[in-house]
Amino acid sequence: MKKQAYNPYLPSWEYIPDGEPYVFGDRVYVYGSHDLSNGWVFCLGDYVCWSAPVDDLGNWRYEGVIYPKTSDPLNRDGRMCLYAPDVTVGPDGRYYLYYVLDKVSVVSVAVCDTPAGKYEFYGYVHYPDGMRLGEKAGDEPQFDPGVITEGELTYLYTGFCGRGDRSRTGAQATVLGPDMLTVVEKPVIVAPGCMYAEGTGFEGHEFFEAPSIRKIGDTYYFIYSSAVMHELCYATSKEPRSGFKYGGVIVSNGDIGISGYKPAEKVMSNIGNNHGSIVEINGKWYIFYHRQTNGTWFSRQGCAEEIVISEDGRIPQVEITSCGLNGGPLRGEGEYPAYLACHIFGEDMRRNAKIAQDGRDGDENDGYITGIRDGISVGFRYFDFKGIKSVTVSVRGYMHGEFRVRTSWDGPVLGAVKVESANIWQDFSAAVPLPDGVSALYLEYSGSGDPQLRAVGFGK
């Protein structure tokens, strides 16, 4: 039996945000930056790669370090971080990795003969006169490169536009020649930043950062993080460097904007910046994005959701879930780790209920949820239940109370699991019949103390 696929799709001790997914051969590869489990700034790690068979998206393989941050001549001492990268296949069939270091405004390039081998530094994107892009008078600083290669030309998309900064005008698109480094057409603006969006159709969802580009049929899809940060949006055009029109929101890492099961503006999890892109795998389309953990913006984990691209090219916003790449709900039986929760919310988030892990970065310890207090709910979407008669929670910490069980965030309480203080992980169970069929599961804590939640289980 194939492994089920979860969100996050990688192990809970791995922190790969800014995911750029690609199918090469019979595997899907994800390239991203590399946070630490208790990072103090963004992107402290070397670039690593993970891949999975296209027909088994729960079975991810660690490909190892593909590019140490000291490989760049500007960073031999490792004082700078590797920000979000992207990869494209050049005219010569080799794989080119584009990235920006955190304290410079130029685009670096590395190259490899295979998708996940050892990349070697190749050079800097530059004008024909040798001056690097980002350093010529009038250039805007380069940031978050996204790339697509068509024939002999590569289109490079970059940019960062903070509120109040009129020196940053929007996302830029630059054309590179067949050597993958030399600028053959200077940058032009393809999506406006928030200081220049009036009258463009991008108002309220202006370009902020995280440009990514895909082509579907004859249409270019420009995916980006908007000025509200928690959402990934898209714009479309028939041309790679002009005519982009705002399309909508694809995903929010707080499920903001999703209605139906809740009010549209209700925030269902800790929100923060977002970065990702879309990919087709075995005839289905997915959006890759990231979530925040450890009570910080500096420990982000990759997630993914199936999307639908309608006949007219639109992409409706999708919910964040626990089942992501699974192709359907998780089996509603057995035990599941609590870190799969896609929703953590409550009226009082002052103690910052969050997903965390024990140990140091790199320790392969499963995550859990901490900071739970009275009124905090933990939600999983979705399970397919059949004949479930009991619910078990695995907890530790000082506590006296109960976890109230629901199948919707504001639905009726179906039962409660009473818990008491435990010095080690301890299981507590109660008879809680769950309706057969596909539904969410919510556990709302009521009581004193602050339990930590490791897992939830279902019994027949």
Residue with tokens 């190749």: 122
Residue in this structure with the two tokens 């005839």, named with its chain if needed = 283
Q: Residue 382 half-sphere exposure, CB side, CA atoms within 13 Å?
A: 13
Q: Show which residues are catalytic.
A: 18, 209
Coil, helix or strand for 70? helix
List C-alpha distances in Å: 373 to 354, 424, 447: 11, 18, 8
In angstroms, rounded to a whole number, what is the distance separating the alpha carbons of residues 48 and 8?
A: 16
Tell me how far apart the alpha carbons of residues 191 and 208 are, in angstroms, rounded to a whole number.
10
* Helix/strand/coil for 220: strand
Question: CB–CB of 109/181 below 8 Å?
Answer: yes
Instruction: Give the Å distances, CA to CA, from 374 to 232, 401, 422, 446.
Output: 32, 9, 17, 5
CB 73 within 8 A of CB 110: no
Cβ count within 10 A of residue 283: 6
Its sign, for the CA torsion 208, 305, 291, 106, is negative
Token couple for 108: 């670096």
| Angle CA 415–291–116, to nearest 5 | 125
